[in-house]
Amino acid sequence: MGFVKSLEQIMASRRPTADFYDAEMLTVFWETKPEIVARLLPPPLKPAAYPLAMAFVANYPKTNFDVTYSEAALFLLAAYEGQEGNYCLAMPVTNDMALVGGRELFGYPKKMAEIQMKREGNTAVGWAQRRGCRFFELRVKLSGRLNVPGAEKMSSRQVDESGAIHGFAYTYRFFPTPQATPMEYNPWLMRQETLLRPKSIELGEAEVIFQDSPYDPWAEVEIVKMLGAMYMVGDNSMLSGKALTAVDPIQFAPHAFIRMDMK
């Protein structure tokens, strides 16, 4: 193949979707403080009606892009022009190619990390760790009940007639300059849809443990009320992202370092 590719090779490698087979995802939802959501959302995103936070840990054993890896993520429910979606604050991964693809194509704030998720009987656990700090740990009892009944309806996900779940994420695509200033061009707000086709879904009662880290400050998204957890196995497809609007770089500058380790 070599360093230089022909047009035929480039076109042959293109895929309309990034597909994940038998993806195993452990997701937790909680209510946080409205003032935290308002402070952490970059413009022009606005807080949704309910201050919902979401995090997950996932194993991806097979994909259509020749990468297998584990991943975690942290989101806040937000809205742009009336359309709700989950703003991605962080997305650690265990594979460098998964990091490059997610950051450069879609703007996901990815970092390399140690991540584990496993299920034994009716218990599922997961954690993410960087620089010696286990900043996020999730423990779930798969009891068939949530901490708060009906809490799954608060998500921005949409279920179609086939049972497939449509999830929407907001990210920002930007790159620093060679002079180490935050942005080489105006950041772009992106909206990206993922289609989840579950083979099984189980509800559970969740406990989340945060550990303060100056590099991965997930503990900043405080838990006011734990709502519950969901364990899902299925096939997922990441659809193409859509650039929504350019963002003023000065307004965005305070939010431009979530992909970097800065105290």
Per-residue pLDDT at 112 exceeds 90: yes
Confidence (pLDDT) at 163: 87
Structure tokens, 109:
């704030």
Strand 83-93 relative to strand 165-173, pairing: parallel
Q: pLDDT confidence of 232, banded at 50, 70, 90?
A: very high
Per-residue pLDDT at 1 exceeds 70: no
| Residue in 166, 169, 18 with CA at minimum distance from that of residue 108 | 169
Domain range annotation of the chain: 17-255
Average pLDDT over residues 82-86: 96
Per-residue pLDDT at 62 exceeds 80: yes
| Residue in 73, 67, 76 with CA at minimum distance from that of residue 33 | 76
CATH code for the domain defined by 17-255:
2.40.400.10
What is the chain written as a DSSP string? --SS--HHHHHHH--SSEEEEEEEEEEEEEE--HHHHHHHPPTT-EE-SS-EEEEEEEEE-EETTS--EEEEEEEEEEEETTEEEEEEEEEEES-HHHHHHIIIII---EEE-EEEEEEETTEEEEEEEETTEEEEEEEEE-SS--SSTTGGGGSS-EE-TTS-EEEEEEEEE----TTS-S-SS--EEEEEEEEEEEEEEEEEEEEEEE---SSS-GGGS--SEEEEEEEEEEEEEEEEEEEEEE--HHHHGGGTTTTS---
| Residue in 88, 114, 110, 99 with CA at minimum distance from that of residue 65 | 99
Q: What is the pLDDT of residues 144-192, one digit of tens each?
A: 999 999 887 777 678 888 889 999 999 999 988 887 666 778 999 999 9
Q: What is the pLDDT of residues 254-263, one digit of tens each?
A: 999 999 998 7
Strand 133-141 relative to strand 188-210, pairing: antiparallel
Confidence (pLDDT) at 156: 66
Beta-carbon contacts of 28 under 8 Å, excluding residues fewer than 6 positions away, are: 54, 55, 56, 138, 140, 206, 208, 226, 228, 229, 230
Confidence (pLDDT) at 182: 65
Average pLDDT over residues 246-252: 94
